[in-house]
Amino acid sequence: MLKINGKTKLFGVIADPIDHVRAPEIYNERWLYNNKNLIMIPIHVKSNNLKTTIEGLRSLSNFYGFCVTIPHKVDVAKFCDFIMPNAEMIGAVNVAYFNKKRELIGDNFDGDGFIFGLKAHGFDIKGKKIYLVGAGGAARAIAFSLAKQNVFSIYISNRTEEKVSNLCNSILKWYPNLNIKSSDDFSNCDILINTTSLGLNNTDELPFEVEKTPSNSLIVDIIMKPEMTNLLKKAALNNRKIHQGKHMLDYQIELMEKFLTKDIL
């Protein structure tokens, strides 16, 4: 059984909503199995309370770091004292820790986890045409990692055109020859990826019409709970290949743990 005492080191995961997060159950089981006196808790934070929450966590001497998910990845990057090069390039953070000076250091492993997960399940992405729904923190990390993998093109759809434009311009600074642009046309795309929160609730609309996707396309959702979102269910019913959101986290667990605990273990 998990034993909590005065020597227990605290970690968290920050999100809004919070019900879908998987990191606490994964890390707590992992740390219990390895006999580490660490615990991770879910922390439900609204955007207008994010800065105050981070400063409060900074003041807790036995709180060491946190994972970050929807919708805080871009904003947390702004509140870090230092961010690692990959997170700086992306402009978003999905994990951060307090060093011995209580400075907040952020990084981002979403893109690596996403790519590792796809490859581990046999999906090749080199030279593929990508349709990406969303332009938030996760989308930024995934788009940069896709660009590194020499995809053929990335079309991005989002409610806010300015976010898409900013993301495209950021990537073009590093990958000037990539065909990346704002578009709602997915008719010829090989891989379609939902990076938005659509699907967390059963009543959410689908991010795109599955029936209009190419018959041999791969449909990906990065939402972790439910594992089979309505989008993935619809894709499976229409005989499309699918890839679940849990794999993005599963393939970055060790990377994130090493980063979170680098100053204490």
Catalytic residues: 73
Q: What is the 3-state secondary structure (H, E, C) of the chain?
A: CCCCCCCCEEEEEEECCCCCCCHHHHHHHHHHHCCCCEEEEEEECCHHHHHHHHHHHHCCCCEEEEEECCCCHHHHHHHCCEECHHHHHHCCCCEEEECCCCCEEEECCHHHHHHHHHHHCCCCCCCCEEEEECCCHHHHHHHHHHHHCCCCEEEEECCCHHHHHHHHHHHHHHCCCCEEEECCCCCCCCEEEECCCCCCCCCCCCCCCHHHCCCCCEEEECCCCCCCCHHHHHHHHCCCEEECCHHHHHCCHHHHHHHHCCCCC
Answer whether 166's CB lies under 8 Å from 143's CB. no
Matching residue, tokens 């991770």: 40
